Structure 1
Amino acid sequence: MPTKPLERKPEWLKIKLTTGENFKELKSMMRSKTLHTVCEEAKCPNIHECWANRTATFMILGDICTRACRFCAVKTGLPTELDLQEPERVADAALQMGLRHCVVTSVARDDLEDGGALIFAETIKAIRRKMPLCTVEVLIPDFLGREASLVTVLEAKPDILNHNIETVERMSDRVRSKAKYRRSLELLERSKRIAPNIPTKSSIMIGVGEEWDELLQTMDDLRAIDCDIMTIGQYLQPSPTHLDVKKYYTPEQFAVLKEEGMKRGFKHVESGPMVRSSYHAHEQVQSATATNV
């Protein structure tokens, strides 16, 4: 059974709420186009900052995930939604927002033969048609290891292929549902082999019980497959039924992790208590693509 966190939440994790006109307008637009965002569904702590700055991460393929990862606030169950018009609505919303960098993610759809890869590809293409100058980043599930699904996404030519490793190898089975540490590495490695000019990215959340040397080993594992970008953030328990927080890392420790990552050759490392996979994604794409052209 879950127990109470070992420590009180420190001061540096307090969130500044911003609910100005941009936030209200974006929320209204998402509702009018019946779109989902990971910002809302996963209870991201940065939603107020990002929405106030007119940035958001679209979540396609519905809002019900076929997996039940122990860190994630997204609803789980048997999905009923598969909307073939969704890619066009996402592109319309991105155009209305005037985005220069668009991030698209999804729930896991293990109920679909391709895991939702075709909808990812069609969303990329729709954004390209309506916003040719907008860069597109996709944060994809592991597609249960199906290479054909990965190829479908890569053939649509996203600017960044993102897949999260989430935690260190020892903690993976406890933290994630169905996903495997080595399978995630294999997906990122395959992406580099199939489309070497598309930068790859991965994210880890810390504070679930990992050791410092395991974090460094995860960096080494990602660099061994030439992963370009890494993001590192503090795990925050979304509800009492989710994994407990075992440790709150200090901003200074996050700064050291950024240094360790850059020493290992990542083109960009975003590391901080409130960092999430898509946080400041628009600032990462240039550093990642500069040497991949």
Structure 2
Amino acid sequence: MSGTQNQNLPVRQYAPQYRQILSTVFDAKKAFEGVLAPIQALDGVQFNAKAFSVKTNVTPVVVGTYSTDANTAFGTGTGNSTRFGQMTEVIYADTDVEYSYTLSIHEGIDRYTVNNDLNAAIADRLKLQSEAQTRQMNKRIGKFLSDNAGETKALADFSEDKIKKLFNDINAYVINTEITAPIKAYVRAELYNAIVDMASVTTAKGASVSIDTNGLVKYKNVTLIETPAQYFAEGVLAIFAPDGIVIPFVGIQTARTIEAQEFDGVKFQAAAKGGTFILDDNKKALIKVTGTIV
């Protein structure tokens, strides 16, 4: 019997819709928005562990000196020496990026009990599942940023002098590390409010602060972004980072609805794998601030 027979029952494939909705919802609701590049979402992934490969190069740069010795490339060195010094061979390596977590959907929609149009119910579930999975990904990304931060600063309390010192220390680190991209700070609400309430944050010093809107766009040349506490790793108060240095990705193996035999309706199923990637070179641009909320 052919494997494509289905008793004249419809089988719907929702993978493209699922990918589109997930990407749209993620881009609209993702935490740590600036630090993340656009989510990479693929349908029908074929590899069990590998998501993609990147070409990396660990060959150090050697700055030599030009020789003007009479017997280098000339004289007794003719044919067996060079005035440019030793030659460094440049080689790139392929580095595999692996998936680090899985996602799944398994729901049933019975025509007798759903009390709605079947296709409308499926569309609703696609959107709601995408929202729930986006929140899970936000938490994973928060932990990923914490685990891969190249620098950690501790904040003992939310007093004004401690916050000033924190931002001054981070500014010095950014300058000395030669991080040239603009930095954004993703901060918990408690820290954000403490910065807004500081006595030194005044219009007299050029601060665009508004108590009416509880707003402060920047502090010490760092853009401030309030971020929900549940998306930070435990003990982390803030993440400082430039834009676009972390890549989130999801590989959708299947997303489908199939007619059920156990009830008059359909099963909504999906299986996907995801992960997050950052180049080792860019980890130094991730700065986490640790402390305790009192």
| TM-score category, normalised to shorter length | under 0.3
Where relative contact order (Cα < 8 A, 6+ residues apart) is larger, the structure is: 2
TM-score normalised by the chain length of structure 2: 0.24
Using the size of structure 1 for normalisation, the TM-score is: 0.24
Return the structure number with greater strand share.
2
